[in-house]
Structure 1
Amino acid sequence: MKTILALTAAMLLASAAPSFAADPQAEIFKQAETAAKAWIALTDAGKYGESWERAGTYFKTGISKNTWETGVRSLRAPLGSVKTRELKSTEYATTLPGAPDGEYVVIQYETQFENKKSAQETITPMREKDGSWKVSGYFIR
């Protein structure tokens, strides 16, 4: 009887403990998605220079601020404003083609723009050396 009570007490204590340790990847996804949403909000608002400044090191070493502003403006302007953006997938990766090894979360959204009914946006945050997540790539297909 004491064994059953001890097991029951242990199970109750275990179930009362926080579950954040159960899925460490969930916290990674949350942090990366938060960074991606903040960054894409700047891009959606046409604040292209600010989106470049808030991007990650890899992003900024791959494209100059001026080139980014010109390129994203010409890409996004014909699409019009965002009507809907729905999360389709998140995937953790430590290697990506053409990118240095590191920690990445590849986030894909199904997005409807004013002038394009269906597009797939891919936003890829990367963990920086200081532990923060910042966008390292952005693509629209």
Structure 2
Amino acid sequence: MRNLIAILCLITATLSWAQAPKVIDVSKEIEPTTSWLEEVDSGKYAASWQQAGAFFQENVPQTLWVSKLEQVRRPLGAVKSREGVSRQVLTSIPQLPDGDYVILEFQTDFENKAQSIETVMLKKSAEQWSVIGYFIQ
């Protein structure tokens, strides 16, 4: 639980510590994000953990991740619509090693909760983007 809270706090802190964007090619971030969100949307929470990046897996045990999504995500119901509303490209985030990061925000209407904001944080490793954080407001 502490690790999950730390990741959620990290994402919130990241948004307030945002720096000037670095121009890099982020077109490849969309596919892993979409694929990962599809796993979450379909209730395959363990699979979403397995697709997540190493930082995520090291800080959030799979059993905790699955139980928290059962508690938080499942009651929201099916996704009715999801639209990207912002993207931040960062090279430095407090408490994380320097690297290429992207924070994507989506306005998502769920069956049981309209106008939610989903935030997905990705890190580029070995020329691949992987999810290292997820938050729903």
What TM-score results when the alignment is normalised by the length of structure 2?
Answer: 0.79
> Are the equivalent residues in 2 in contact too, given 1:35–1:125 (CA < 8 A)?
no
- Aligned to 2:122, the other structure's residue is in SS state strand
- Pair 1:119-2:116 in alignment: yes
State the partner residue of 1:10.
none
Which residue does the alignment assign to 2:131?
135
CA RMSD in angstroms comes to 1.3
Quote how far apart the aligned CAs of 1:96 are.
Answer: 2.3
How many residue pairs match? The answer is 115
Following superposition, the deviation at residue 65 of structure 1 comes to: 0.6
RCO higher in structure (CA 8 A, sep ≥6): 2
Q: Which has the larger radius of gyration?
A: 1
Partner of residue 92, structure 1: 89
For residues 49 and 73 of structure 2, the distance between their equivalents in structure 1, rounded to whole angstroms, comes to 15
Deviations 1:48-107, CA, capped at 9 Å, x for gaps: 101100100111011001110001111111111110000101111012244332211110
**Residue type of the alignment partner of 2:133:** G
- Is the Cα contact below 8 Å between 1:33 and 1:107 reproduced in 2? no
Amino acid at match of 1:83: K
Q: Runs (4+) of structure 1 moved beyond 2 Å?
A: 96-101
Instruction: Read off the aligned partner of 2:127 and give its amino acid letter.
Output: G
Match of 2:56 in 1: 59
Percent identity reads: 35
TM-score, structure 1 as length reference: 0.77
Gaps of 5+ in 1: 1-23
